[in-house]
Amino acid sequence: MQFTELGLSPELLRAIGEQGYTTPTPIQAQAIPHVLAGRDLEALAQTGTGKTAAFVLPLLQRLTAASTATDAANSPLQRIKHTAPRALVLVPTRELAQQVEDSVRAYGKYTGIRSLAIYGGVSINPQLQTLRRGVDILVATPGRLLDHISQRTVDLSKVTTLILDEADRMFDMGFIRDIRKIIERLPRERQNLMFSATFAAEVRELAHTVLKNPALVEVARRNTAAELVTQSVIRVDQAQKKDVLLHLFETHGWHQVLVFCRTKHGADALAKRLDQSGIRSAALHGNKSQNARARALADFKSGKLAALVATDIAARGIDIDALPHVVNFELPNVPEDYIHRIGRTGRAGASGIALSLVSIDERIQLRDIERLLKREIESSILPGFEPQQTRPTPSSAKPPMGRRSGAPGGNSNGRPGNANRPGRGSSGSSSGRNANDRTGAPRPARSGFGGKPSGAPRGDRGAKPASHHSGQRHQ
């Protein structure tokens, strides 16, 4: 199938062609006809499969057609400029808000559709100015949107389409109550679209309350990892991880590696160590200003940085073309976060390498990840860095405190939930809260440290078959 067969307008086809696209991905081919027909939609697809274009393209076409029909029904003197947004796209993070709005601008460059992304961490004044001039599509994080609603600076009464992107992520970040508050402000008659990498039970419950007789599109098995990502594990002592990472940079000649740490402090410390060793690096996490985050990501994409050390804030909404390597310096406590981390590579048909440095204290997280993947990840020991620790530290065997169980009001920052104060995460709102990084302890052990040594690490070997919700709240 070609994009020309989907019934898209010449203006959209022209913009798509300029982006170099001729063939839709499976999620695009299946979703676009339903959206164009005006149906509600529940769409499931792993990261890197083109979900954004699957809703942006038909949304642009429907808004353009509605404007044309209205103008045709009125005389030239009666034609007025839309000031209130007609479509609302809710996303969990500011990075994803920027990415979606960039797509709206790129695909809608010949349509005259105006768009705006609003999120925290930046001054609200430029957003206010653009809102006063009027926009058609508003892309927003829930926290900052509620700030605008409380200040009566945004009018949602004209919204005809609501899109929830990365719905599972918004649930895990504690946005569920905010989303419900926002939905209460919308017109009852509207089209509703829900896109996500996975649909946990809680998200499906939300879908049943928001979507009306939705079409269902599913192009990936639930909780599958990126198909073109080669995954491997190097077993190593925790104290040796930094030296092992430096050794891998030196021996493999890595030039662009996204490295994941579990905490903000750990990301800062590792980026500093890499930089001091001659590997240009920067940290990316929720305590960084929006300008610092944007600069770090731009430098990493352009090749000025060899390593970007991030917490799970980077696991969603960051699209880096042909990223060759992802390294899990520390495994996440929530196994689905692993899926999203490695999903940053192996995108858009390119292959990628995902390597995890795993200490014995992380044996439980590794086993949970393998259980989620339904297979064992190839494990090896790096000569010269053989692990000496044979038992986990006592703290690693303790159960987590306040681990999110999916109950309403449950937080995902390692603290018990509070139904009265669920929290929004950080959207740069006036509350000033920022709960970015999950640091809770791993769950109780159910099995031993998996995997047998198999010689040297796999390094840059080719791709092999192998996307979902995170337990972190951040903006």
Both 257 and 293 in one domain: the answer is yes
CB atoms within 10 A of CB 316: 31
CATH of the domain at 440: 3.40.50.300
Both 84 and 24 in one domain: the answer is yes
Residue 455: is its pLDDT beyond 60? no
Both 213 and 236 in one domain: the answer is no
Query: Strand ranges (DSSP E) for 288-415?
Result: 307-310, 325-328, 352-358, 378-380
Listed residue (452, 372, 361, 433) closest to 398, CA to CA: 361
The token pair at 130 is 């653009």
Both 277 and 399 in one domain: the answer is yes
* Cβ atoms of residues 32 and 9 within 8 Å: no
* Cβ atoms of residues 196 and 210 within 8 Å: no
Rounded distance, CA 338 to CA 343, Å? 8
CB atoms within 10 A of CB 442: 25
Rounded distance, CA 466 to CA 32, Å? 27
Residue 132: is its pLDDT beyond 60? yes
Q: What's the number of domains the chain is made of?
A: 2
Range of the domain at 206: 3-68+80-218
Both 189 and 246 in one domain: the answer is no
Residue pLDDT, tens place only, 405-443: 333 333 333 333 333 333 333 333 333 333 333 333 343
Both 229 and 211 in one domain: the answer is no
Residue pLDDT, tens place only, 281-327: 999 887 888 788 888 888 998 889 999 999 987 656 566 767 889 99
Instruction: Give the position of tokens 């292959």.
Output: 351
Rounded distance, CA 241 to CA 259, Å? 12
Write down the pLDDT at residue 441: 38
- Residues 57-60: contacts with CB within 8 Å, 24+ apart? 57/8, 57/12, 57/16, 57/28, 57/32, 57/107, 58/8, 58/31, 58/32, 59/35, 59/87, 59/137, 59/161, 59/163, 60/12, 60/104, 60/107, 60/108, 60/111, 60/113, 60/137
CB atoms within 10 A of CB 421: 10
Residue 355 lies in a domain: yes
CA–chain centroid gap for 147, Å, is: 22
Give the model's confidence band at 168: pLDDT under 50 very low, under 70 low, under 90 confident, else very high.
confident
Residue 136: is its pLDDT beyond 90? yes
> Which amino acid would we find at residue 347?
R
Both 428 and 443 in one domain: the answer is yes
Q: Which of 197, 218, 239 is the last residue of a domain?
A: 218
Both 44 and 159 in one domain: the answer is yes
Instruction: Give the position of tokens 């007789």.
Output: 213
Residue 75 lies in a domain: no
Residue 112: is its pLDDT beyond 70? yes
Rounded distance, CA 301 to CA 322, Å? 10
Both 172 and 232 in one domain: the answer is no
Residue 73 lies in a domain: no
Residue pLDDT, tens place only, 244-288: 999 999 999 899 999 999 999 999 999 999 999 999 999 988 788
Write down the pLDDT at residue 117: 96
Residue 82: is its pLDDT beyond 80? no
CA–chain centroid gap for 391, Å, is: 35
Chain mean pLDDT for the chain: 79
The token pair at 316 is 């969603």
More confident call, 35 vs 447 = 35
Both 323 and 432 in one domain: the answer is yes
Rounded distance, CA 134 to CA 292, Å? 29
CA-based Rg of the chain, rounded to a whole angstrom?
Answer: 23
Residue 175 lies in a domain: yes
Residue 74 lies in a domain: no
Both 372 and 430 in one domain: the answer is yes
Give the model's confidence band at 77: pLDDT under 50 very low, under 70 low, under 90 confident, else very high.
very low
Write down the pLDDT at residue 434: 39
Write down the pLDDT at residue 422: 38
Residue 354: is its pLDDT beyond 70? yes
Residue 362 region by backbone torsions, left for phi larger than 0, else alpha for psi between -120 and 50, else beta:
alpha
Residue 311 region by backbone torsions, left for phi larger than 0, else alpha for psi between -120 and 50, else beta:
beta
Q: Which of 156, 186, 218 is the last residue of a domain?
A: 218
Residue 223 region by backbone torsions, left for phi larger than 0, else alpha for psi between -120 and 50, else beta:
left
> Which amino acid would we find at residue 256?
Q
Q: Which of 194, 218, 242 is the last residue of a domain?
A: 218
Write down the pLDDT at residue 235: 96
Both 254 and 284 in one domain: the answer is yes
